[in-house]
Amino acid sequence: MPSNFISYINIYSMPIKVNLDLILVKRKVSLTDLSKNIGITISNLSVLKLNKVKAIRFSTLEAICRELECTPGDLLEYVDEKN
């Protein structure tokens, strides 16, 4: 692996963390159930859950928050990569 590989990841990674996995566990809701209840595919929710997403529509954020009874601040977290 090249020595600059870590730098490459840091340049392109976002300091926003999606906490969907934690909220699902706290609410005892499966990804499949969430998908069925809000009409968003499991694959799209999985990308969110795995923190591999680059953007999220407000309508998606609203649907997730409404169904899981949380706020956008519960779902999204800013992580200061300098510390």
Please report the pLDDT score of residue 10 as a whole number.
45
Please report the pLDDT score of residue 50 as a whole number.
92
In the chain the domains, ranked by start, together with CATH numbers, are: 15-78 (1.10.260.40)
- Mind listing the pLDDT tens digit for each residue in 6-65? 434 444 567 899 999 999 999 999 999 999 999 999 999 999 999 998 899 999 999 999
Report the pLDDT averaged over residues 65-74: 97
Name the pTM for this structure: 0.79
76 with 17: CB under 8 angstroms?
A: yes
Residue 4, pLDDT above cutoff 50:
no
* Integer CA distances (angstroms), 51 to 26, 46, 64, in order: 18, 9, 15
Cα Rg of the chain, angstroms: 14
